[in-house]
Amino acid sequence: MTRTVAGAVAAVAVVVLAACSAPEKAAEPVDLARDLAAKVTVDGMFGHLQRLSDIADEHGGSRADGTPGYDASVDYVAGVLRDNGFDVETADFDRVVLAAAGAPTLTVGGRSFPVDQASLLVPTPAGGLTAQTLRPEKSAGCTTADYGDVRVRGAIVVVDDADCSLVEKQNVATGEGAVGLLVVSDSGAPGLFTPGYYQQLKGPVAVIGSDADAALRRTSARVKLVLDAKSRTVTSRNVLAQTKTGDPHRVIVAGTNLDSAPRSPGLNADGSGVAAVLETAVRLGSSPDVTNAVRFAFWGAGEAGQEGSTKYLAGLGGDGEADLAMYLNADQIGSTNAGYFTYDGDQSGAPNPQVPAASVPAGSAGIERTLAGYLNLAGKRPADQPLGRSGDYAPFLAAGIPIGGITTGAAGRKTEVQARLWGGQAGQPFDPAYRTRRDTIANVDRDALGITGPAVAFVVGTYAASTDGPNGLPSRG
């Protein structure tokens, strides 16, 4: 049975009646959520950030997955957790990286355009692929209906980057008989590259720019596509630790990606999330008085397609997934031009067509309300962060596990309305140093982290104590 605050109060009352002759006043039940939030301080989190900063400085200014800087980050986080009584797992997983760049190109009318090979696992045949290009009636090419009367068997299909993922576009094109796919995208629409997408592509797929697209529109002649980049497999690691107390079949998961972008120290993206989740673990302790177990996860390859979280969840199997009551993500939570965004679990914001409201797991709305309630009391009215098919929460979302999260924004620019709401500079990025060498410890805002870090702890404490109530979580089996 899940313990509730009311139950705890009743238990205290019984003890008082049984020992009414005792002069001492019975202790008040602890509000775990507020107690834990109060213990997660800016100084505590900045202590972790300073060590991550030192690691980046000691390893060429980077903590990217696959580098010595990442290995040192793993060792630091695992060491802190072990020092605080946790049993720590540094789980290995394999991922594919570039071994030889090759020269992926599209040749149109004798002119060659560089293209991006979508999957290193799927090259074109030796000598390239030569075929006519055709387009579906509806440019997104997300469904068979989009093709209308256009017959594309034996052709290379050209689509835009809207409305669905690369995998969905390829599956439909292949089903229509296409021998290859070109996706026009200069920036990469949200949700185009879903976690693990490259492993799901079965035929040649390339991403092309608007210049190549314009050349294709001027000809009906056959074109030549060469995808010759080669891959190799490397091993990376996640760091995981779980409380020794609480129901192991009702697990609250709090996670963040541990790696930085290539050639970046990654102190806001995502050292800030690491600092908040790690300090929450330290302050909660390995054997707290909780109803539900808490698992802390620090994902590898988060900046390389969220592979750490994707492969971890895939490896749990049905029973392992069923043990997870929820997933909370902390992603870039100390931006210098901060916004305050909660993942849109109740779907009250602008809808994302890639994430139908009916697909959002029940319980996600309650997690958002819990986060929003804390932020409002901290003086920051939150805004909705639309859900997508990328981010470390995406595989949990796809698996039907309630999700929630918080971020202070990345490369997007703050609007005038947001500047009036939160302060800061309108028209400027939330994080001007996002994924650059300038993402140092000086790029983490103490005031923002002082709000968002305790918010993470508050949610962890809330659901570790109880998953009942109006913001509770459904049973999973």
CA distance to 104, 170, 228, 336, 475, per residue, from 181 (Å):
14, 7, 15, 40, 42
Distance CA 400, CA 409 (A): 25
Assess contact for 253 and 149: CB atoms under 8 A: no
Q: How far apart are CA 403 and CA 368, in angstroms?
A: 9
Q: Which CATH number fits domain 32-98+234-465: 3.30.70.120, 1.10.760.10, 1.10.8.10, 3.40.630.10?
A: 3.40.630.10
Q: Give Cα 175 distance to the centre of its chain.
A: 31
Q: How many CA atoms lie within 13 A of 278 on its CB side?
A: 31
* Mean pLDDT rounded to a whole number for the chain: 90
pLDDT at 1 over 60: no
> Averaged over 359-366, what is the pLDDT?
96
First to last CA, the chain: 15
- DSSP label at residue 260: B
User: Is residue 11 predicted with pLDDT exceeding 80?
Assistant: no
What pLDDT score does 190 carry? 66
pLDDT recorded at residue 3 = 39
pLDDT score for 193: 80
Q: What is the pLDDT of residues 253-307, one digit of tens each?
A: 999 999 999 999 999 999 999 999 999 999 999 999 999 999 999 999 888 778 8
Q: What is the pLDDT of residue 30?
A: 65
pLDDT of 192-220, one tens digit each?
887 678 788 989 999 999 999 999 999 99
**pTM for the full predicted model:** 0.78
pLDDT at residue 19 above 50? no
**Shared fold status for 32-98+234-465 and 102-228:** no
Return the pLDDT at 476. 78
Parallel, antiparallel, or unpaired: how do β-strands 223-226 and 105-108 relate? antiparallel
Amino acid at 446: R
Topology annotation, domain 102-228: Glucose Oxidase; domain 1 (3.50.30)
CA distance 224 to 221: 10
pLDDT at residue number 111:
93
pLDDT tens per residue across span 33-81: 999 999 999 999 999 999 999 999 999 999 999 899 999 999 999 999 9
Strand pairing partners for 114? 105
Domain ranges of the chain: 32-98+234-465, 102-228
Structure confidence at residue 128 (pLDDT): 94
Orientation of helix 271-284 relative to helix 32-39, angle to 10°: 120
Please list, in sequence order, all residues whose beta carbon lies within 8 angstroms of the beta carbon of residue 361, skipping any fewer than 6 positions away.
Answer: 397, 400, 401, 402, 403
